[in-house]
Structure 1
Amino acid sequence: MPRSRPGSDSPPGRRGNAGGAMTADPAARWSRPASGREPAAAALLAWLGDPGAPGLAVVTGAEGSGKSRLLAWLIGHGTRPGTIGERRIHGFVPLPGQTATTAAWMLGDQLSNAARSPGDLVAALAADPRRTVIALPELHGAEQPGPVVELVLRLAALDHVRVLVEVRSGTRWERALTAGPCARMDLDEPQWTDEARRASWDASHPVGPAGRAEQDPEPEVPFDLDDPVSVCAADPWSVTTAYERSQENHGGLRAAWLRAGASLTREKPAAERALVLRAALGDAGDPRLAAALDSAVRDASWAVVWHRVRGDVTPPWPGPVRSLVAGTGPLAGQLVVADHQGTVRVLDAESARSTGRLPHSAPGVRATADHGDGTVTVLDEHGLLHTQRAAESARPKGLAALLDDGPSAQERLLAAVREYAQRQRETVTALTGAGDRVVLGDAAGTVHVVSAGAEPRAAALHRGRVTGVAGTDLPVSAAGDTVLLLYTGGADGTVRAWAPHTDAMPEPVAARNCAVDAVAVATVDAGLVLAIAWADGLVEHRALDDDRLRTFHPGSRAHALAFTAEGDLLVGTDEALLRMRAR
């Protein structure tokens, strides 16, 4: 195995203390591996550090050769805080009993992305150029070794990804993994053991004549795949494996569980798991399941007001949601929803039934803004703004119409926004409407507030791309005076607050180790509420007046958030559109 070099890695963020500039804790020294495996350990460390080494390393050997112990040593040290970049293990999954899908869910959780399938995981890592090292012990014990091998080979084919796999020698899975370029280590070969050190180890770690006592496995709690309450109370990994093995529909439960499994397998109470399953259950499911789940979610932190999931027909699912806004003015009581192809639909907020569609699509939608007069602006992936009329506003009639033949206030605003955006050097990446103003975010992290007839305001709030902006008029006096309060999210993993008449707050409102996908804010009867969608699939609902925090994992990445006039939270993903009410 090749020689090592100093490595580079991600900045402090979604992968913990993996930064290449970080130094190791002097006190956290690496111990020697067990049983004289120093040569094997040195070779693995050299593989990790060699930029020219294959992306795949396969540790093999007969049963009992010490493969798992060697990987446990490497993973134990490689995942500690302070480990230098070139030795860092970013994700690992013990594979016994796992499928390719459940392995992808586990790795997605550890790597801060909302992977719902092996393909999602590969795509997410392909789009993220940071060095990533993954360890997968005991592939031969996987529930479906074949698909896991395919996943390993796809991951290892990415230039910036390293995959370390343990597999028993002589198996078809070993042959499949080692058929192409790889670094192979067979622990049955003598060069991987220092016999003198092994003898010293054995002398200081005696094993009784009976060997290590084996513990009886914990009895598995039985569950019924046709009973939603039963599966929500059972071990979620066992349920997932059982659904993957099954060829039956189970009244729609199987499809719903596998759709939201990346959330359902998280540690959570049965009521919260039932909530996620209820939100993923389509209208083709047995109606008795919905009734049972409605009863099971009474103690959950959310209630599902309505939901539309992939495949629904009454009313139809509106497609993958890429942007979402609750309408005002002529669009009050309606939702403006854009899909992945740029089609913009108008839906009834009470039922999600379609009430119309904008005539022109805008492929690559990033954001949508409602301007309060029936016009909607769509921001595309190139930073271009497309404004269309979604509903007719009340216009002057009779003599008033003859006297007022100039552009309206909103028309002047939109003209000012278009002119301002065209002058900017940075690509516009985020957009929202804010009454008589429009707010833009750009690729350099600056947020701009544009109004007609006034000097634009701008503030540099993020490092890197602004990914979401939202605003609300905050009451500041009994006379009804308000100020515009903005919340912005960025690829830097922070959410910041800014009132354009003053300086931005020095500290972020929220910060996590992954990017922000969307933000929404509203002033409701209970006070100020903020919603944040993170790139790892977490949705947070923060009541800012009393610091209450509710969370929800829909099971896939939430691309869009909005609040209804009543304060309900709207969540849009590639799989569903949800209206949720906080309890």
Structure 2
Amino acid sequence: MANQLGVVAGTPAGLLAALLSGAPRTVRLAPAGQDPAEIAELASLLRGFGHLRVVVEPPADEPEHGQPPDLADPDAVCAADPLLVTAAYEASPDAHGGLRAAWLRAGQSLIRDQGPARRALVLMASLPPDAEPRVRGALARLSGRTPWALEWSRPCQVAALTVAAGALVVADPAGGVRTLDEEVPRTSTPFRTRAVAALDEETWLLLDERGRLHRHGGTETPLTKAVAATLESHPGTALAAAADTVLVGDRMGSVHAFGLDGLHQAALHSGRVTALSAVADGACLTVHSGGGDGAVHIWSPGAGGHRPPVTERPYPVVALHAGRTPAGPALAVAWADGLVRLHLPGVRRALPFRPGPAVRAVAVTPDGTLCVGTEDTLVGLRPRQGGGH
């Protein structure tokens, strides 16, 4: 149902939380192959909130599901009917080498219509740390025909990501911040973090859930002081920084660039600005902005004109990041339905990845790795030469 509605949710409560901020919706429940009592219970629960119109489709002929596969065999699991596999894992308490935990965690991605190779990649990115080596090896072999090679995956609470002096910077929901190779987060703010940006190698800026600015490291400057004072009365919704410029998005769809030469502004989105990224190239500053309207725009402070979006989908943008890689400038974008796309120079079609859980942040490191953060996992993916199959 979450896939049908374009949101990410693993429980009925999570579904309601994802939908309550929008307009009332109609959802359709198809009982074929499902327990009628569970369908009725779910419909009753959703109707009780008064925000959704629930339609239960008339029963159809039951599909021929057959017997579930060997749940400890990665090849069999990735090739089988995903709904059948899901039901079998729900009914089995065994870990099956780590496959059960990975499947149930990433299930919203896995039940989509896709080949075994893509399912293997998603499963490998979701495996628990204690998964059996034979399972990891089999999934690595199976995923060899995807556009991605999984570089690493680790348990990690992620609220926001950025890159500072070539290093990946991870901000967690509790207000801690660190580089990827640091074991313990540095305490930076007692408030939950919404975004993180690097003004320079020593100065990291954080935007909290109230839209206020916090500085970590470095020294306070007239610029950071002015931005912090502005956001006390006009909270921000997104944050980026580069080349002595701090960029802030607002709930009305505008991006504000605070720099040493003054303030530049542009109205780029209909509705809230949800993500920002900035890259400096000499005196030129290039800004990418994502919005609740699902669009990604490119803008340079001081430049006039309104250009069409560089990419757009009918779901809110939840994160984006632009960076230089050995292949050239790259752009990573994540939307609220769980899809991440990496845009590379010279590659006509963006490379997609759906981890399953909701995406909190994305970043592109200087070595070309795409980093995808969820509420409890951080993964690094490397595009394969030639784009895979």
Do both share a fold (TM > 0.5)? yes
Aligned to 2:92: 246
Instruction: Measure the CA separation in 2 of the matches of 1:509 and 1:553.
Output: 21
Residues 33-112 of structure 1 mapped to structure 2, 5 A cutoff = 107-112=1-6
Instruction: Measure the CA separation in 1 of the matches of 2:57 and 2:263.
Output: 59
The structure-2 alpha-carbon separation of the partners of 1:385 and 1:485, relative to structure 1 and needing over 3 Å to count, comes to: same
Instruction: Measure the CA separation in 2 of the matches of 1:219 and 1:318.
Output: 37
Query: What TM-score do the two structures reach when normalised by structure 2?
Result: 0.91
The structure-2 alpha-carbon separation of the partners of 1:567 and 1:491, relative to structure 1 and needing over 3 Å to count, comes to: same
Instruction: Measure the CA separation in 1 of the matches of 2:215 and 2:65.
Output: 61
Q: CA deviation at 1:215?
A: 9.3
For 2:325, which of 508, 524, 537 is the aligned residue? 524
For 2:40, which of 144, 149, 173 is the aligned residue? 149
The structure-2 alpha-carbon separation of the partners of 1:458 and 1:443, relative to structure 1 and needing over 3 Å to count, comes to: same
Residues 114-263 of structure 1 mapped to structure 2, 5 A cutoff = 114-128=8-22, 130-138=23-31, 143-165=34-56, 220=66, 223-263=69-109
Residue 459 of structure 1 aligns with an amino acid whose one-letter code is A
Contact persistence 2:284–2:300 (CA under 8 A): yes
Contact persistence 1:358–1:388 (CA under 8 A): no
> How many residues matched?
384
Contact persistence 2:7–2:338 (CA under 8 A): yes
For 1:428, which of 213, 221, 236 is the aligned residue? 236
Aligned to 2:221: 411
> What is the aligned-residue identity percentage?
39
Aligned to 2:171: 338
Instruction: Measure the CA separation in 2 of the matches of 1:362 and 1:459.
Output: 32
What are the superposed Cα offsets for residues 64-98 of structure 1, whole Å, 9 maximum, x if unpaired?
xxxxxxxxxxxxxxxxxxxxxxxxxxxxxxxxxxx
Larger radius of gyration: 1
What are the superposed Cα offsets for residues 452-492 of structure 1, whole Å, 9 maximum, x if unpaired?
3x111110101111000001134xxxxxx452111100011
- Helix, strand or coil for the counterpart of 1:500? coil
Aligned to 1:368: 196
Residues 503-518 of structure 1 mapped to structure 2, 5 A cutoff = 503-518=304-319
What are the superposed Cα offsets for residues 151-174 of structure 1, whole Å, 9 maximum, x if unpaired?
222211222212233689xxxxxx
Instruction: Measure the CA separation in 2 of the matches of 1:575 and 1:357.
Output: 15
The structure-2 alpha-carbon separation of the partners of 1:508 and 1:243, relative to structure 1 and needing over 3 Å to count, comes to: same
Contact persistence 1:116–1:555 (CA under 8 A): no
Aligned to 1:326: 163
Contact persistence 1:362–1:386 (CA under 8 A): no
Instruction: Measure the CA separation in 1 of the matches of 2:40 and 2:271.
Output: 36
Instruction: Measure the CA separation in 2 of the matches of 1:582 and 1:502.
Output: 33
What are the superposed Cα offsets for residues 39-71 of structure 1, whole Å, 9 maximum, x if unpaired?
xxxxxxxxxxxxxxxxxxxxxxxxxxxxxxxxx
Aligned to 1:24: none
- Helix, strand or coil for the counterpart of 1:548? coil
Residue 275 of structure 2 aligns with an amino acid whose one-letter code is G
The structure-2 alpha-carbon separation of the partners of 1:283 and 1:482, relative to structure 1 and needing over 3 Å to count, comes to: same
Instruction: Measure the CA separation in 2 of the matches of 1:435 and 1:540.
Output: 26
What are the superposed Cα offsets for residues 118-155 of structure 1, whole Å, 9 maximum, x if unpaired?
22112212332x121223354xx654444433322221
What are the superposed Cα offsets for residues 173-200 of structure 1, whole Å, 9 maximum, x if unpaired?
xxxxxxxxxxxxxxxxxxxxxxxxxxxx
Q: CA deviation at 1:339?
A: 2.3
Instruction: Measure the CA separation in 2 of the matches of 1:295 and 1:167.
Output: 42
- Helix, strand or coil for the counterpart of 1:296? helix
The structure-2 alpha-carbon separation of the partners of 1:164 and 1:520, relative to structure 1 and needing over 3 Å to count, comes to: same
For 2:373, which of 554, 562, 572 is the aligned residue? 572
The structure-2 alpha-carbon separation of the partners of 1:504 and 1:429, relative to structure 1 and needing over 3 Å to count, comes to: farther
What are the superposed Cα offsets for residues 340-395 of structure 1, whole Å, 9 maximum, x if unpaired?
232333321xxxxx344223334231101112232221101211111122xxx7xx
Q: CA deviation at 1:222?
A: 6.1
Instruction: Measure the CA separation in 2 of the matches of 1:336 and 1:529.
Output: 18
Contact persistence 2:175–2:187 (CA under 8 A): no
Gaps of 5+ in 2: 385-389
Q: Which piece of structure 1 moves more, 556-565 or 425-434?
A: 425-434
Contact persistence 1:531–1:561 (CA under 8 A): yes
The structure-2 alpha-carbon separation of the partners of 1:123 and 1:222, relative to structure 1 and needing over 3 Å to count, comes to: closer
Q: CA deviation at 1:336?
A: 2.4
Residue 337 of structure 1 aligns with an amino acid whose one-letter code is V
Contact persistence 2:328–2:344 (CA under 8 A): yes
Query: What TM-score do the two structures reach when normalised by structure 1?
Result: 0.62
Contact persistence 1:275–1:300 (CA under 8 A): yes
Matched, 1:293 2:139: yes
Aligned to 2:387: none
